[in-house]
Amino acid sequence: MPKTGLTSEQLKQKAIACTIERMRKFGYEKVRLSDIAKDLGVTHAALYSHFADKAALFDAVTEKWLLDVDEKLAAHCDPSKNPLECITNWCVELHKAKREKVQFDPELYRAFNFCAQIDKPFVQHHISTMRLQLKELVERALAQKLIRGDAQEIVEQILDATTSFHHPSLVVYFIEQDREPALRKLLQVLFRGLK
């Protein structure tokens, strides 16, 4: 254990939490590793053993948020519920997660938006997790004969149809509008077409 009394993982998580606080307080561009190290009472070298540079620290912040989003989406995959309702709630949750981050945590969203434009492993993992969750819901709806078609094609259709509700740039573009009712209506139309 280092002099801080924290395990390596605890130090990493504290650094991420400290970075989030500094981003909220001072903005995305003004976060420096030296300030994070000072806040934590550790040396630069202690942080460099976890994060190669500032970009790696921002990646860790974004990865944490995406893992939180994945957990929230998973909560809407309850096998005891109607799969079409689950798909709707899943899509609404994804929309809300992105919208709330833009509205209430804009500096963290800027970091996410930057990372999402680059093929980073944790972004690809998030996308893969979302697709798997949605595919499981679609397969349940197909098994219950609530819709018809090919599961993978339907997943792509849902994601394509709802892009403007969850794509980083488009969420920002439409931020002044309450688009949840429109999203719910769009999904109803899509489900009717798939019956």
7-59 per-position pLDDT tens digit: 888 889 999 999 999 988 888 788 888 899 999 988 888 888 888 888 888 88
Q: What is the pTM of this model?
A: 0.86
Report the share of the chain in percent with pLDDT over 90.
54
Task: Assess whether pLDDT exceeds 80 at residue 154.
Answer: yes
Least confident of 8-12, 109-113, 126-130, 137-141: 109-113
Domain spans in the chain, listed from the N-terminal domain onward: 1-51, 55-194
- Of residues 193 and 7, the one with the higher pLDDT is 193
Name residue, tokens 């799969």: 83
Interaxial angle between packed helices 54-74 and 121-143, expressed in degrees from 0 to 180 and rounded to the nearest 10: 10
Tell me what pLDDT residue 75 has.
97
* Contact call for residues 162 and 88 (beta carbons, < 8 A): no
pLDDT tens digits, 171-190: 889 999 999 999 999 999 99
Tell me what pLDDT residue 3 has.
58
Q: Which fold has domain 55-194?
A: Tetracycline Repressor; domain 2 (1.10.357)
| Domain 1-51, CATH among 3.40.50, 1.10.10, 1.10.8, 1.10.287 | 1.10.10
Name residue, tokens 């149809």: 161
**Rounded CA separation 146/129 (Å):** 24
Tell me what pLDDT residue 117 has.
67
CA dihedral 88, 92, 93, 96 (to 10 degrees): 180
Summary mean pLDDT of the chain: 90
Tell me what pLDDT residue 2 has.
45
Question: Pick from 33, 31, 52: which is nearest to 43 by CA?
Answer: 33
**Rounded CA separation 193/188 (Å):** 9
133-171: b (≥16 Cβ within 10 Å) or e: bbbbbbebbbeeebbeeebeebbebbbebbebbbbbeeb
Task: Assess whether pLDDT exceeds 70 at residue 148.
Answer: yes
Tell me what pLDDT residue 1 has.
37
Interaxial angle between packed helices 151-161 and 121-143, expressed in degrees from 0 to 180 and rounded to the nearest 10: 120
Neighbour tally for 9: CB within 10 Å: 9
Tell me the average pLDDT across 59-76: 92
Q: Which two tokens stand for residue 115?
A: 């990372």
